[in-house]
Homo-oligomer: A and B are copies of this chain.
Amino acid sequence: MSLTEVVDFLEREFPQIHHGGRSYHLEAVGPLRARMRMDHHERHLRPGGTVSGPAMMALADLALYAAILANIGPVGLAVTTNLNFNFLRKPGTGSLVGEARLIKLGRRLAVGEVLISSAGLDTDAEDLVCHATGTYSIPPTR
């Protein structure tokens, strides 16, 4: 699926992510990869202006889901079965970017990792705010 097709699919399947205003934006998709940006929005922030853990977790899950869609097509029923998060540093107050990479894309399971960092920074080790891995069960009838 192209970038536009994945964006349209996510709009239909995950409309709740835009509840209260748009802040998740799919920036790019490619072979085994996707990049998702989460803009600053009041509903994601903790006191002090830093992004909350659950907002980062949603970003990681969405970025991985987008990478799967881009690489195997509109699998509406692909299901998240496991997510693991290591929270590394307090994020800044600006946008965050999640770089997702699939490390397995089998017939039944897809596994990927996501590196989350502040927008505009590299995903070097010293800039990461969160590292996530996720597993998705792919429906048998595709």
Contact = CB atoms under 8 A, between A and B. Distances in A.
A46 B10 CA distance: 11
Interface of A: 12-16, 19-20, 32, 42-47, 52-54, 57-58, 61, 79-89, 101-104, 108-109, 111, 113, 125, 128, 131, 133, 135, 137, 140
Contact of A104 (B45, B52, B84, B128): B128
Contact of A82 (B45, B84, B103, B125): B84
B42 A135 contact: no
A137 B109 contact: yes
A57 B83 contact: yes
B61 A80 contact: no
Contact of A81 (B43, B58, B109, B140): B109
A25 B86 CA distance: 26
Contacts of A81: 86-87, 109, 111, 135
Contacts of A89: 104
Contacts of A57: 54, 57-58, 83
B85 A79 contact: no
A42 B109 CA distance: 30
